[in-house]
Structure 1
């Protein structure tokens, strides 16, 4: 599984462009629609997929992602069903890396060993668990790495050079640079500051550095992609889903197509980023 992610980043580096990493909440607005969206992402231009695990207390998520989680939970989405989403996706796509993203509580309740075994069986390549700091690596990070599952860590503008080595010590796959302090879906930061931050992180690691928070348009993706190995888009996608729903919160006839259209535009921006980087 680590090989699938490493292979994807190596191919993108050879191509001379950053990755487009798209986030969706598992089960939003329902299981089958979520699976349809997930299947549509690679053809629309997504290079990696972040699959959210819905949780009732998502402290780091902004309103759009929180609402997506609530819709999923209301429809009966569970951690087991989110693993099943990945497994179903893998039946038709063996190349696109999948990263599960969420919080530790549902994993702890599920059971770490059982969870990791099912992660592997479902074809998931990596984990982002936002509320597990390096000091808690023994809980999940070390067991995941021992089984060949990438453990991706977040770095922020306040992660200084003294803290970075601890953050990066057991990180694999890529580093997710959260380009601002605050919740997901906030305003886009100054792209000129991101280049310096990415360079600073790269002084501590050979891993790809991918940047997220606030990316909503192709122009955003182009600007961020010029300075990073990957661009992460989440809130804009879940907002697109929300805007396509019927009045009673159900999937509309154009829900999957609406997401694919947005992602195609973002992919255009990411693919243009290599031109900026080369100038």
Structure 2
């Protein structure tokens, strides 16, 4: 049985816009309101990152966001509980939990998947779990109507095709090898990589890692079905940190976030 929210989002005629935010950055309440604002601004799917002390795939921007969130007491369990609150405030788009494997293992894979399904979460992405070791978690997700999102990087063609053919929901294409972060220029070899993956995949492809400007978003939309924007958005959230913490000033900060997203996705 396909996840209904994910099906609606990925079958839309519009290019997918998938923002990444860190749960609890700068506060739990701010995270809920940022999520709703992102949907209003045109987000198709939300990636909700779980703060972690050793985020191997993340550059300094998201590491700093994780640190802020952890200092505020955010955890995997608390992050999951944010999603039903987002739903109560009107969030209708799919929510993907982005977490490293160690916190997931400590929490319990079956416990996580069962609770995620009950709480209105639509998928899971584990960046440090190799494709070859992901079958058990993929099956658990499938049994609970969650999309297990696969990451594919420009490696061997045979491996890329294998990942693309097993992917669910949307296929997250890593635009370059290395950690997340804003990049002024993307490696020109990314276009051949995206062509290979897109031809092998039965589901939409979304490209991420380094997408930070409207120009890059538009360039990538010619070669993929959507884009993931993380570090550039997390930078804006970090700049608005103090305003987001206070109820009185939060609306101004949310408006600034919305303006930034509009600058990325307006044609």
How many residues align? The count is 263
| TM-fit CA distance, 1:114 | 1.4
Structure 2 equivalent of residue 11 of structure 1: 12
Is it true that 1:131 corresponds to 2:128 in the alignment? yes
Pair 1:132–1:206, CA change in 2 (3 A): same
Cα distance in 2 between the residues matched to 1:230 and 1:11: 11
Cα distance in 2 between the residues matched to 1:84 and 1:54: 14
Cα distance in 2 between the residues matched to 1:108 and 1:139: 12
Name whichever of 176-185 and 219-228 sits farther off: 219-228
Structure 2 equivalent of residue 233 of structure 1: 229
Q: Is the contact between residue 194 and residue 227 of structure 1 (CA under 8 Å) also seen in structure 2? A: no
Please list, as runs of the form range in 1=range in 2, the aligned pairs for 1:67-82 lying within 5 A after superposition.
67-82=64-79
Cα distance in 1 between the residues matched to 2:171 and 2:263: 24
Structure 1 unpaired stretches of 5+: 273-279
Cα distance in 1 between the residues matched to 2:89 and 2:245: 26
Is it true that 1:62 corresponds to 2:62 in the alignment? no
2:206 is aligned, of 206, 210, 217, to: 210
The root-mean-square deviation of aligned C-alpha atoms, in Å, is 2.0
TM-score by length of 1: 0.88
Q: Is the contact between residue 21 and residue 49 of structure 1 (CA under 8 Å) also seen in structure 2? A: yes
Cα distance in 2 between the residues matched to 1:138 and 1:85: 28
Please list, as runs of the form range in 1=range in 2, the aligned pairs for 1:1-279 lying within 5 A after superposition.
2-12=3-13, 17-93=14-90, 95-158=92-155, 160-168=156-164, 170-190=166-186, 193-246=189-242, 250=245, 253=250, 254-268=252-266, 272=267
Q: Is the contact between residue 142 and residue 170 of structure 1 (CA under 8 Å) also seen in structure 2? A: no
Structure 2 equivalent of residue 277 of structure 1: none
Q: Is the contact between residue 104 and residue 129 of structure 1 (CA under 8 Å) also seen in structure 2? A: yes
Q: Is the contact between residue 36 and residue 86 of structure 2 (CA under 8 Å) also seen in structure 1? A: yes
Cα distance in 2 between the residues matched to 1:56 and 1:166: 31
Structure 2 unpaired stretches of 5+: none
Cα distance in 2 between the residues matched to 1:235 and 1:157: 20
Q: Deviations over 1:3-24 (max 9, x none)?
A: 2112211122xxxx31111110
